[in-house]
């Protein structure tokens, strides 16, 4: 059983996100167009705790890819598998395509793909942006994750369940914050 581990923020996570996003873009390159544009991918975002400066996180890069047509994503499974990803399908969230990557039996990346405009895209981005704009809330989240990792070192389900209420509260605050037009930090690579 793998240990639930959270570590201090690492500035390399942002660089790793940018590097991996370029591999993903290349994997989805549509050779039927000569323009060099990708007609399927509309944006790639760094999400999750590794995208929030100064907080503890599991050292796994979460990547959110927005696409014009979620059904077309399945045709690119072989290219993502060639990059070392395991295709997991919707994996419990309708309308998502989920991929995970391990290097030397250590999980390194999660890729969540949704259609542009999905409520899940909004939820992930607003949570991230709210945490970045509200460092005290981010610190509370960091402390909660550290406490849960210590309390449940070999129980990822209990760790995830322990974060759920906090995340839901922050998502609700983030949507209110967005509605009040407090800003959008928008860290899309495309």
Map out the domains of the chain as residue ranges. Answer: 12-179
**What pLDDT score was predicted for residue 38?**
63
pLDDT (0 to 100) of residue 2: 81
Which pair of tokens denotes residue 136?
């005290």
Region of 48 (left: φ > 0; alpha: ψ -120 to 50; beta: rest) is: left
| 3-class DSSP state of 1 | coil
pLDDT in tens, the chain (190 residues): 689 999 999 999 999 999 999 999 999 985 444 445 568 999 999 999 999 999 999 999 999 999 999 999 999 999 999 999 999 999 999 999 999 999 999 999 999 999 999 999 999 999 999 999 999 999 999 999 999 999 999 999 999 999 999 999 999 999 899 888 544 444 444 4
Superfamily (CATH) of domain 12-179: Beta Polymerase, domain 2 (3.30.460.10)
Cα 40 → chain centroid = 19
Q: What is the pLDDT of residue 180?
A: 81
Q: Model-level pTM?
A: 0.90
Q: What is the 3-state secondary structure (H, E, C) of 9-42?
A: CCCHHHHHHHHHHHHHHHHCCCCCCCCCCCCCEE
3 state DSSP class of 43 = strand
The pLDDT assigned to 17 comes to 98
pLDDT at 37: 58
- In eight-state DSSP terms, residue 57 is B
Q: Which residue is it, tokens 């928008």?
A: 186
Question: What's the token pair of residue 125?
Answer: 């981005």
Tokens 């923020």 belong to 9
């Amino acid at each position: 059983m793998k240990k639930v581990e959270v570590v201090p923020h690492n500035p390399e996570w942002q660089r790793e996100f940018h590097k991996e996003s370029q591999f993903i873009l290349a994997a989805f390159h549509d050779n039927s167009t000569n323009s060099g544009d990708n007609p399927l991918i509309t944006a790639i975002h760094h999400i999750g705790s590794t995208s929030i400066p100064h907080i503890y996180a599991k050292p796994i890069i979460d990547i959110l890819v927005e696409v014009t047509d979620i059904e077309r994503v399945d045709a690119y499974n072989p290219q993502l598998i060639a990059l070392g990803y395991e295709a997991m399908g919707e994996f419990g969230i309708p309308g998502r395509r989920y991929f995970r990557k391990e290097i030397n039996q250590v999980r390194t990346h999660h890729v969540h793909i949704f259609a542009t405009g999905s409520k899940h895209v909004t939820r992930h981005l607003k949570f991230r942006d709210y945490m970045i704009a509200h460092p005290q809330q981010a610190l509370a989240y960091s402390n909660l994750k550290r406490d849960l990792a210590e309390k449940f070192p070999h129980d990822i389900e209990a760790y995830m369940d322990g974060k759920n209420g906090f995340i839901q509260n922050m998502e609700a605050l983030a949507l209110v914050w967005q509605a009040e037009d407090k800003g959008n930090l928008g860290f899309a690579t495309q």
